Amino acid sequence: MTVSIVDYGVGNLAGCVAAFTRIGVKSIVTNEKSDILNSRAIILPGVGSFDAAAENLVSFGVRDVLLEFAESGKPVLGICLGMQLMLDRSEEGKLAGLGFVQGETVKLSSAESAKVPHMGLERVTPSEEFEKTLPTISDKFYFMHSYFCKVYDEGVSVAYSNHGENRFVSAFKKNNVVGVQFHPEKSGDVGDRFLKGFVGLV
C-alpha cells in the first residue's frame, strides 16, 4: 500500500513526493477516491489562503473522501495550510474547515523582531503526550505562515513554537489525525525523521 498525497490544486506536491522517496516510502499524488481510500496513510499539503483551499477540497471532489478516510482510523497528516483546514474555521475566511479538531486559525501578531509571514527555522517543543507517539518531533523545522491554529479540543496532544510574542501550536495529534504547521518536506534530515515517525503510526 502507498501513501497518497492529496492533490486539490494547492501545496508542495513535488516536495512531498521527494521527501517520501528519500525515506524509502512509495507515494502517489492523487485526488481519486479509490486511490485515497486504499492508501496506508494520506498527506494533506497546503499553501495559500484558507477559503480558496476549502473551495478546492469541494471542487476537486476530495472533501467527503477525506472525512471518510479519517473515520477509517488510518493516519492523516496535514501540513501547513493542510493542518489549518483540519480545524472548524479560520479568521482568514468564512468557509468551514474539515472539523477533525475543534479550533480555529488566527493571524500571527507582527513586531519588529517577528515579521509576518513567519519564515525560517524554529524549534518545536512537544507536550509529553505528543512525544509519546511522535518522539522525533523535538527539533528545528521550517515554517512559512501568517496564521496559526488555536486548538479548543481537550482531547488533543500538541507541540508548541514561538515567534516573537506569539506562542502557537505548531503540531497536534488527535487519534489518527496529525497536523503540523511546519513543512517537514523542507526541513532536511529532521523533517525526514518526522515523516518516518508518522508513517510508523500505520
Domains of the chain from N-terminus onward: 3-199 (3.40.50.880)
pLDDT of 129 reads 87
The residue to which cell 525526514 is assigned: 192
Which residues partner with 142 through β-bridges? 121, 183
User: Number of C-alpha atoms within 13 angstroms, CB side, residue 40?
Assistant: 12
Identify whether 104 is a catalytic site residue.
Answer: no
Please give the average pLDDT of every successive group of 10 residues along the chain, which has 202 residues: 93 93 96 96 95 97 97 96 98 96 93 85 92 84 96 92 92 96 96 92 62
Residue 75 cell numbers, joined: 493516519
Beta strand spans in the chain (E): 3-6, 27-30, 41-44, 76-79, 89-90, 103-107, 118-123, 125-126, 140-145, 147-151, 157-163, 166-174, 177-180
Identify whether 80 is a catalytic site residue.
Answer: yes
pLDDT of 144 reads 96
Please enumerate in sequence order all residues whose Cβ is within 8 A of that of 52, keeping only pairs 6 or more positions apart, or say none.
10
Identify whether 149 is a catalytic site residue.
Answer: no
Which residues partner with 111 through β-bridges? 114
| Burial bucket for residue 128 (CB in 10 Å: 0-12, 13-18, 19+) | exposed
Among 80, 118, 145, 163, the one annotated catalytic: 80
Q: Taking phi first (over 0 means left), then psi (-120 to 50 degrees means alpha), and beta for anything else, what does residue 175 get? A: left
Selection from 10, 29, 9 nearest residue 19 by Cα: 29
Peptide bond into 75 cis (omega under 30): no
Among 16, 118, 163, 185, the one annotated catalytic: 185
SS (H, E, C) 19-37: HHHHCCCCEEEECCHHHHH
pLDDT of 201 reads 67
Residue 80 cell numbers, joined: 501547513
Among 118, 145, 163, 183, the one annotated catalytic: 183
